[in-house]
A and B are shown apart, each in its own frame.
Chain A
Amino acid sequence: MQYFKQNILTCIFAVIFSMQFCFSQGGKSPAITISSDRDRDGNITFVSNNDDYCDYYVILDFPELRGYTARGAYPCKKNVRTGRENLLTLKKISDTSSPGYRWSYTFYRGSINAKPNLDYIYAMPVKSGDSTRVNFGRSGEFKLYFNYRHAGDTVYACRAGKVCNNDLRDGSSKTYTSREKIVIYHKDKTFSEYDRYTTPLVHAGDNVKVGQPIAIVQPDENGKKFVSFAVYYLDKDKMLADGRKHTSLIPIFHTVNNGDCKLDEKITYVAELTGELVTQDMNKKEKEKYEKKLLKQNK
C-alpha cells in the first residue's frame, strides 16, 4: 500500500512538473520537430517537420557520434520550409561493435539567407485617407506605436505576405509571449509584427494583401488606441553571439503629406494606398493579373 501511495505521489509530482514546464514555455509546442528514420542497412535519416508558415533555420548537432559517419557537414545547419525536409543521414560503419549517437537541435524563426528589401515602401496600417501619429517603443527592438485616435478601429496590412502560426515557439525568445501577435512573413524573408490589437481578422496560413484589414483595435482603459508595428529578420551576423538573433529595421512608409519617409514622433501623417504600393511585391504575372482586374473594375 505504502509503495502504491509513493507511486501515486510520484505521478502527481511528475504531472505538476510537466505542466509547469509547459506553462513556462507559454504552453506552445515547438514549430520544428525532428524525427529519424532507419533504413534496412541501419543508416539513419533525420527529418525536420516545420508546422509554421514561414522558414526556420535549424541547427542539428551530434555531441556524441560512434560508429556512424554523417553524409554532409555536421552540425547540420539548414533553412527549412513548411512541411518535411531531410536534414542529414548517418551512415553506419560496418565494422563498429557498439555504434551510438546523441543529438540535439535548435531552431530560429526565419531564413539565414534573408536579404531585406531596403527600398520597400510600406503602407501605413490605417485606412487610406486617415491620419495617424507614431511613438517609438523603448524595448530595444525598433517598434512604432501607431495612434488610432483619428483612424477608426481597423488595422490594415502594411505589406503582403503569409500569416505565421504564433501558437508555436521557436528556439529564441522571439515568440515566447502570452500575448497574441500577428506575424506576417514576406517575400524577402523579413517579418512584420502587429501587436496590441484586440480581435484578429486573419489566421495562420492566410495570404494577406497590402491594405487588407487584419485586426480590430479597441481603446485601452485610458481610452487610447495603439497598435505596435515592427519589421525584423533573422540576422546571420548574430548567430554566433549571445542574445537576440533577429535584427529590426526602420521601415519606410508612404504618406500623403511627407512622401516616402521614415516616420518620426510628433508629426501627423496621412495614409494613402496606391497601386504602386500594392504591386511592389508582385511578380510580372501577378502584376498583369492585378492590372486586368483593375481594368475590369473600372469598366
Chain B
Amino acid sequence: MSYRTLLTGLADTETAPRVMAAASALANEHGAHVIALHVVPAGVTRESGATIEDLAERLREIYEEHRDGESYSSEWCLLDDNELSATGALIELGNACDALVLGQRHAREAGRSRWHLGEHIVGVTARPVLLVPEGGERMSFGGRVLVAWDGGTASTRAVFDALPLLQRATDVRVHRFNPPVEERRHVSGLAEGLAETLARHEVALDLSNSTASRLEIGEEILALADEWGADVIVMGCHVHSRVRQFLLGDTTRHVFANTTRPLLMGA
C-alpha cells in the first residue's frame, strides 16, 4: 500500500524548503506524484516582506530546486482567483489526494507569520496530514514510528491512514493511553486486536501503555518519542467543534506546538 498522490501546501519561504524535502523523500519511497500548491493571498500586496508576486516566484524556485533530478512526477499549481483561501483550497484539493504535506512551526517561531496552515486543515480535511517541523525534513520516514492510540475515532483513523508509512517502518510502537481498568470499562483485548489486524497488513509492532490525565497526554507523547527515538509520530487530532475549525484539543495543541518530529495526523 502506498501514497500515490501527495499535496504539498507552500505558503512561505521559511517552511517551504522542508515541506518540499519531506514530500520528495516520501514521493521517492512511494512512487508518488507531487502537487505543489501555492495560493496567492487575497487582499494584500505584500507578504512576509516581499511582494506577493515575488513570494510566488520564490516558492516556485524552491519547488523546482527540490524536484530537479528526482524521478517522481510532479506539478506546480498556482491559484490566484481570490475565491478560495489557502486553507479552503488545500482542504478541497486535499480531499482528492492520498495525503497532505504541510509545514509546522515550533511554538518559539510561531507568530512570526500569519500562515499556520496545518492547524486550520488537520481535523477538517478527510485525508491524513504530515506536518513537518523545523529539522523534520532530515527525519527518516522508513525508520521508527510511534503511534499514540486511545481506541477513539480520530486516532483509529490516523493509524489506518498511516498504513503505507507503517508498512515501510523498521520499528513500530503502538502506545495505548489509558487502557481499560475497572473504572474505565472497555471490551478487553482491544490493543491486541489492533496489533493482530495490523500484523495481517504486514506491520510488526510492539505494544505499550500508560495512564495519564488528559492534560498530560501531550507531554507524555513527546517524552515517549524522545526516549524511544521516534522518527515520526502518528496520532489523532481532536477538534472540539467542526464549525469552529480552530479549536484544537489540549493534547493536539501541545504536540502541535512543541514537536521537533514530523507528525502524521488523522481526524
Q: Do A and B come from one complex?
A: no
Could you list which residues of chain A lie within 8 angstroms of chain B, going by C-beta atoms? none
